Structure formats: C-alpha cells, structure tokens
C-alpha cells in the first residue's frame, strides 16, 4: 500500500489552498499513491476566526473538489480536515473518499484542543468547534483504516478502539505547534504504533511563521516503531510504501493484542484504600 503524504502550505485564501491541494494530489497519484492524505485545516489558517469564516456544509466547495480529485486521480483521499458547518454547529472534520470519489467516512474531532502550556501555546478550539462523538474506521481494498484528528491521537484509548475494530493503519491529519511538536510528536506516533502494532501516519501543514506555527514533520511509523518517513518543515510531497504483511509478522512475534487481560482492566479492579 502506497501512501501519498502532502505537507502543504496553508494561505489565507481558500481557493489557493484547494488548488494547491489538487496539484499535490495529482503528483502523489502520478507517483503511485493508493491513499493520499492532507493536513489538518488544509483549506484555511488554524485560528478560530478563520474556522468561522471558512466553515461550509458537507456538500460545500471543499468536499466537492476533494471528491473530484479522488475520482480524477483514482486514489483514496483522506481530506485532511476542514471547518464543517452542520445544524448550526462547526466541527473540525475529516472527509474520506474512495477511488471513485464516493464518500467513505467523516470523522469529527472528538477531543478539542483546549490548552494553556506554561511559557508556550494557549489555544481553545471549544470556543468555535463542537466535539464529535464517534470512533472512525473505514474499509479499503487493503483492509480497515482508522482516522482521527490531531489532539485525538493523544488519547491511547481511541487508538486502541480503532485497532480493536480492525484498523491496520491510523491516519492523523494534525497541526502540532512549536511547543508540543518537539516534545511529543515523534514519541506519540511511535508509541501508538508499538502499542497497537499497526502503521501510524501523521500529516501536518508546512511551517509558516505567520499566525499559528505548525511543527510540520509529517511522519510514517511502522508497527515495530521504526520511522519510515519524516518530512522537515518545508512543503513536502512523498509517496511511502507500506508493507502490510509486517503487521501480522509483528503481532505473531509479540502477541500484545491477543494477550490483553481485559478481565483486570476495569476500574472496579483497582485496590481500594
């Protein structure tokens, strides 16, 4: 399975961002990609006012162009994320399309990025976004794939649920910042891959020093925890080949998922004072 990683730049103009994305998708397809992945908020800058200004319905211009790009290039497309306007609420949402441009899945970010790090980043997604409430796994010819968005991936329970539902790879459109990125980006993708014995794919916007500063460093990690691919900070396009047989090989060698003691993991089994 070949993954097209698109670490695209994000401008203040939605049409420019969509046009850039279409060009990258075409190049990834020409390079043999089966599944192409865009970054979190690839169509608008990452700040609350931009989310409101660029919010659109599920059948809006961004999803229409993503669907067309998937069909025209014959690829599965994980469309990063966009601000989705639905019934008066705005969601940080990722749309997935199959090779014919049909919608396969929509993931609404379930853990909103509300943080205040001493000496670092302060942000409150909940000032604009409503949280989703579903675990997202979708089918492909290569097996089931998991999908979540950025801050979602910090919660190991969510990744484990996707693995238990059969996910062979977890795609994570994300935009870590310059405080959390150097500290946790690589660590998190390697840890989730090792814990769940699957591939993890994180795709971020290219770094810009205007407004929100993305750590970038888009990454692909193997079920053994090896870094297969890592971008730097600039715009980047890569097609990365994943050996899906490695998943079963690693799980045979270290039977972590099958050896779980779920009879002991409930909170009721914790010792009482």
Report strand pairing: 89-97 vs 103-108: antiparallel
Kind and range of the H or E element at 190?
helix 180-196
* Burial readout 250-265 (b: 16 or more C-beta within 10 A, e: otherwise): bbeeeeeeeeeeeeee
Q: Residue 235: which domain range?
A: 2-257
- Tokens encoding 9: 């730049």
Identify whether 45 is part of a domain: yes
Count of the separate structural domains present in the chain: 1
Q: How far is Cα 24 from Cα 3, in angstroms, rounded to an integer?
A: 13
Q: Is 236 helix (H, G, I), strand (E, B) or coil?
A: strand
For residue 39, what are its two tokens?
């970054």
Which two structure tokens, joined as six digits, stand for 54? 């660029």
CA distance 80 to 18: 11
| pTM across the whole model | 0.95
Q: Which two tokens stand for residue 257?
A: 């998922």
For 53-104, write each residue's pLDDT tens digit: 999 999 999 999 999 999 999 999 999 999 999 999 999 999 999 999 999 9
Q: How far is CA 52 from CA 18, 57, 86, 268, in A?
A: 18, 12, 12, 43
In a domain, 171, yes or no: yes
Give catalytic residue positions.
40, 109, 150
Contacts (Cβ under 8 Å, ≥6 apart) of 45: 10, 11, 12, 211, 212
Among the listed residues 254, 256, 197, 204, the one whose alpha carbon sits nearest the alpha carbon of residue 221: 197
Residues of the chain with pLDDT under 70: 120-121, 268-273
pLDDT attached to residue 113? 87
Domain membership of residue 193 (yes or no) is: yes
* Position 164 in a domain: yes
Read off the CATH number of the domain in which 67 is found.
3.60.110.10
Q: Is residue 267 part of a domain?
A: no
Residue 270 maps to a domain: no
Q: What is the pLDDT, as a whole number, of residue 116?
A: 82
Which pLDDT score is estimated for 154? 97
Measure the N-to-C terminal CA separation of the chain; round to a whole number of Å: 51
Q: Which two tokens stand for residue 158?
A: 């969510």
Within a domain: 262: no
Residue pair 161/257 in contact by the 8 Å Cβ criterion: no
Q: Is residue 266 part of a domain?
A: no
């Amino acid at each position: 399975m070949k993954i097209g990683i698109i670490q695209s730049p994000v401008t203040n103009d939605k049409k420019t961002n969509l046009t850039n994305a279409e060009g990258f998708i075409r190049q990834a397809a020409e390079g043999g990609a089966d599944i192409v992945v865009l970054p979190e908020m690839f169509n608008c800058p990452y700040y609350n006012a931009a989310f409101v200004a660029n919010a659109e319905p599920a059948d809006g211009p961004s999803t229409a162009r993503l669907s067309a790009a998937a069909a025209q290039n014959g690829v599965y497309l994980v469309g990063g994320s966009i601000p989705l306007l639905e019934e008066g609420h705005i969601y940080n949402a990722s749309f997935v399309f199959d090779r014919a441009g049909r919608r396969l899945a929509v993931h609404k970010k379930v853990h909103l990025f509300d943080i205040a790090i001493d000496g670092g980043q302060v942000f409150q997604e909940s000032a604009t976004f409503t949280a989703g409430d579903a675990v997202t796994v979708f089918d492909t010819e290569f097996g089931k794939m998991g999908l979540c968005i950025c801050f979602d991936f910090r919660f190991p329970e969510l990744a484990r649920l996707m693995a238990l539902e059969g996910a062979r790879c977890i795609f994570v459109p994300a935009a870590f910042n310059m405080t959390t990125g150097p500290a946790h980006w690589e660590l998190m993708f390697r840890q989730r891959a090792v814990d769940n014995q699957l591939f993890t794919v994180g795709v971020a916007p290219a770094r810009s020093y205007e407004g929100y500063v993305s750590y970038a460093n888009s990454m692909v990690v193997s079920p053994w925890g090896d870094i297969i691919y890592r971008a730097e900070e600039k715009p980047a396009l890569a097609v990365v080949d994943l050996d899906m047989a490695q998943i079963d090989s690693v799980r045979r060698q270290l039977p972590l998922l099958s050896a779980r003691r779920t009879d002991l993991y409930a909170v009721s089994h914790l010792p009482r004072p």
